[in-house]
Amino acid sequence: MQQDIQRVLLTEEEIAAKVKEVGARISADYAGKKLVLVSVLKGSVVFMADLMRAITIPCSVDFMSVSSYGRDVKSTGVVKIRKDLDEQLSGKHVLVVEDILDSGLTLSYLREYISQKGAESVRIATLLDKPSRRSVDVFPDYTCFTVPDAFVVGYGLDYNEVYRNLPYVGILKPEVYGG
Ligand code: IMP
Ligand code: MG
């Protein structure tokens, strides 16, 4: 995998420190509230696993699976729900945990969908934000890192399901995806 990486963008240490910090902020902001973390599979699982352990207040966790990308590197704009939420959301505060906010199509759809399920509030925590590529108005409430317009992999993020287990975030060499 290493030889397909052009440059390491975020090291394990940088990610760990930032996730701790964001977890502390979330703990303070949601103190006394019923918090549900909703992880969007599969890209956010690594971030979710670290973030939930950086949160020091009681919370529950749930998982959703949606598809927007298929096998390509560009969003299709079509969001399909493959696995729905298990939990009842009424009276609860939902924090959607995402790996990367790119065009924003996935999250703008999910935010609306979750609101309609009766959640008290819906906010977004993303590991990475790629604001240069945004095509709809969606702003993350918690962002660990802002990244340039390059295709990145690792720490949960994939290209064709590979590279998710890299412990850092790196820029994929364009020749790997024919870019
Ligand atoms: P959006 O709907 O365009 O915001 O797409 C968000 C989803 O696209 C993320 O959850 C990722 O699965 C995927 N994605 C977008 N950019 C990248 C990237 O640079 N590397 C890996 N996956 C990406
Ligand atoms: Mg993906």
Specify whether the CB–CB gap between 81 and 161 falls below 8 A: no
Is residue 128 over pLDDT 80?
yes
Lowest mean pLDDT among 12-16, 34-38, 63-67, 152-156: 63-67
Place of tokens 């317009």: 149
Segment 92-118 mean pLDDT: 94
User: Residue 17's closest CA among 148, 144, 153?
Assistant: 144
CA of 26 to the centre of ligand 1 (A): 23
Who has greater pLDDT, 20 or 72?
A: 20
Is residue 72 over pLDDT 60?
no
Place of tokens 């890192």: 145
CA of 69 to the centre of ligand 1 (A): 7
Residues 6+ apart with CB under 8 A from 100: 43, 126, 127, 128, 129, 130, 147, 152, 157
Specify whether the CB–CB gap between 116 and 101 falls below 8 A: no
Place of tokens 């295709």: 151
Q: How many CB atoms lie within 10 A of CB 156?
A: 26
Segment 72-77 mean pLDDT: 58
Segment 53-62 mean pLDDT: 98
Segment 2-26 mean pLDDT: 98
Q: So what's the pLDDT on residue 80?
A: 87
Note the ligand closest to the C-alpha atom of 161. Answer: 2
Whose CA is closest to atom 15 on ligand 1? 102
Who has greater pLDDT, 109 or 18?
A: 18
Mean per-residue pLDDT of the chain:
93
Note the ligand closest to the C-alpha atom of 70. Answer: 2
Segment 139-156 mean pLDDT: 97
Is residue 15 over pLDDT 60?
yes
